[in-house]
Amino acid sequence: MAQVFFLEKWLTKLKNVSYVGVDINKSFLDFAKSQLIKYPNYKFIQEDAVKVRIPEKFDVIVATSSYHHIKDTEKRAYLENISNRLSNKGILVIYEKLVSKFKEPIGAADSASKLYAERIKYLLKTEKPTEKQLFALFNELYLSAIRKGEYKVSYEISLGGFKIHRV
């Protein structure tokens, strides 16, 4: 999915790189396009990453903060779909917020509360978060707890058996 910060800070520093960004949300893509308009090798596609069919193969696929938006029942298909697009020695980089292990969906309320309580406490200690930032975090806590649009999982079940190197 399109990552404007990563593109602006890192990818644009490399020469001869082609990039394809996928996101289901048009406004995210419009923003990414507007910021990266001078890079003709950057393409943006509005599609569901679970279902999108892209013919090219890629040396690096980066999925930042997107996995937790994919419903649990679609997580496996999502991982298969994106990893199928890797070239021979390609690397898939997944950046995610993981929560502590929980059993029933109701347990997500505990795990999400723990994660966000820590995050909010840390921010209050180290920075001066704005009301808007705090509201956004409490809203994420709420959505993660009721599992609506935020389907965070624990490390143990995060990749459904995919072989990974944790960094």
Ligand X SMILES: C[S@@+](CC[C@H](N)C(=O)[O-])C[C@H]1O[C@@H](n2cnc3c(N)ncnc32)[C@H](O)[C@@H]1O
Alpha-carbon separation of residue 118 from 13, 37, 111, 115, 141 (angstroms): 35, 38, 11, 5, 11
Q: Could you say whether residue 112 binds ligand X (CB under 6 A)?
A: no
Q: Could you say whether residue 139 binds ligand X (CB under 6 A)?
A: no
Give the span between the Cα atoms of 136 and 129, in whole angstroms. 11
Q: Looking at 11, 17, 20, 24, which residue binds ligand X (CB under 6 A)?
A: 24
| CB 37 to ligand X: min, Å | 18
Number of residues in contact with ligand X under rule CB under 6 A: 18
| CB 88 to ligand X: min, Å | 25
Q: Looking at 3, 111, 144, 158, which residue binds ligand X (CB under 6 A)?
A: 3
Q: Could you say whether residue 31 binds ligand X (CB under 6 A)?
A: no
Please count the other Cβ atoms lying within 10 Å of the Cβ belonging to residue 159.
18
Q: Could you say whether residue 12 binds ligand X (CB under 6 A)?
A: no
Strand partners, 86: 58
Q: Could you say whether residue 28 binds ligand X (CB under 6 A)?
A: yes
Cβ-defined contacts of 155-159 (< 8 Å, 24+): 155/98, 155/101, 156/101, 157/101, 158/67, 158/96, 158/98, 159/79, 159/94
Q: Per-residue contact track with ligand X, 48 to 87, x per CB under 6 A?
A: xxx-------------xxx--xx-----------------
The candidate with the shortest Cα–Cα distance to 111, out of 140, 78, 81, 79, is: 140
Q: Could you say whether residue 133 binds ligand X (CB under 6 A)?
A: no
Which parts of this chain interact with ligand X (CB under 6 A)?
A: 1-5, 22-25, 28, 48-50, 64-66, 69-70
